[in-house]
A and B are shown apart, each in its own frame.
Chain A
Amino acid sequence: MRRAAANGVRGALTLLAFALVFTALMSLTWWMTRDIVARNEQASRVALLAQVLPAFDNDLLADAIELPPAQAAALGGGRAYPARQRGRVVAFAVETSAPDGYSGEIKLLVGVARDGRVQGVRVIAHKETPGLGDYIDAAKSAWSAQFAGKSLDNPPPGAWAVKKDGGAFDYMAGATVSPRAVVKAVKRALEQVRAHQAQWAADKEQQ
């Protein structure tokens, strides 16, 4: 009986020793790589934002605007990133999302110049069918490039739809749900930017 208890204690101590050693190993690695990892993550976020914005000279992440809940809900995303050149805001990148993708939410970044024209659209997360609906992703096809230069007046609001629905935007036969959702989300983002950009820019330029 005493023997069994001693064995149990020895086992528990062995397990504890292994747990301590390997936790220490993980902590050490985490501590050593922490700064580089944080820098990498920031760099890749900035690189993504830069794809939908014109040239800028500010720190996008430090300047990010946390939107009030009402605007965030209307947009489907919580942040707007002002791109500035010599202090003046020249464009905004907004996070937005299309809740009505073929298989769930499609997350987007939309860059809008101050004159209301789209600078660029990037799908940043989606679960659309591989090989079918995923052409909305810039990594898979050039489909999302057609938004560049478009605004709420060009095409007119009624034509913000895929061609199948009588609109102005291309789609690929067999997969209309995904592009439909993206077109709708981009239009909504433009409307939100038009409604609020004066306020956002004023906040940022005062600083």
Chain B
Amino acid sequence: MMDRHAAREIAANGLWRQNAGLVQILGLCPVLVISSNIVNGVSLGLATSLVMLVSGAAVAALRQFVPNELRSPIFILIIAALVTVVDLLLNAYVHGLYLVLGIFIPLITTNCIVLARAEAFASRNGVAQSALDGLTMGLGLTGVLAVLGGLRELVGHGTLLSGIDLVFGPAARGWVIHVIPADAHYQFLLAILPPGAFFGLAFLIAGKSALDRRAARRAAGSEVMAGTMNSVSR
């Protein structure tokens, strides 16, 4: 079993430090296609997280049976099979969501972040760690999809949470937030079309770098402070 510290380390890597969307820049195909609003982004993100959780655990559990030179085809086989299973289960038991995500679920197979984590993490670590790594990597990607979706929706249409009724039924239609009143017919098409995803992602990556750099500078600054304090007291 893993201890608390290791678990926290894995989660921090997945959610922030090695974020799939912002740092590893993997899995861009769905990021760019589906991030036109929050609801789509979060839905696909959660489906990807689920697949990564299961595939991480499966790859880790089976890793000692997988000959090193055959690991790529076998990992792809495992991932593709699990995606198919998730696809069928969603279709059967959460049909409303399936209608929204339908065409994107098979694409999870081709999302390189899933294979990348199988290769880089799950093939070398235990089942619990790999499941946690898959889940947090997926959730990290979900976060990026949510922020990017919100950004594009807001800039493109002046709304947030549009399309939520596709997930929660017609009753949820009133949950859509119109930041810019609906009758103004505001729109900025560039944000909604694929280029908007590239611009938005660029801003997010730059934003994360800026935050990291500031954190690093602050850490360095406090060390210097501590150093001078020490010399003064001496």
Interface residues of A (CB under 8 A from B): 10-11, 14-15, 18-19, 22-23, 25-26, 29-30, 33, 36-37, 40, 43-44, 129-132, 139, 172
The answer, yes or no, to whether B69 is at the interface (CB within 8 Å) is yes
A interface: dominant SS: helix
Interface residues of B (CB under 8 A from A): 36, 62, 65-67, 69-70, 73-74, 77-78, 81, 84-85, 88-89, 91-93, 95, 98-99, 156-157, 163, 166, 185, 187, 189, 192-193
For the complex, what is the distance from the CA of A132 to the CA of B74, rounded to whole Å? 45
Give the total number of A-B pairs whose CB atoms are below 8 A apart. 65
Are A22 and B77 CB-contacts (below 8 A) given A14-B66, A33-B88?
yes
Are A11 and B78 CB-contacts (below 8 A) given A29-B89, A131-B189?
no
Select B91's contact among A22, A26, A33, A129, beta carbons within 8 Å. Answer: A33
Q: Decide: A23 and B91 in contact? CB cutoff 8 A.
A: no
For the complex, what is the distance from the CA of A131 to the CA of B62, rounded to whole Å? 47
Q: Decide: A36 and B65 in contact? CB cutoff 8 A.
A: no
Closest to A172 in B: B185
Select A40's contact among B74, B91, B192, beta carbons within 8 Å. Answer: B91
Sorted nearest first, the 10 A-B pairs with minimum C-beta distance are: A22-B81, A33-B92, A36-B92, A40-B95, A29-B85, A131-B192, A33-B88, A29-B88, A37-B91, A26-B84
Q: Decide: A129 and B189 in contact? CB cutoff 8 A.
A: yes
For the complex, what is the distance from the CA of A43 to the CA of B95, rounded to whole Å? 10
Select B81's contact among A11, A23, A37, A129, beta carbons within 8 Å. Answer: A23
For the complex, what is the distance from the CA of A18 to the CA of B71, rounded to whole Å? 11
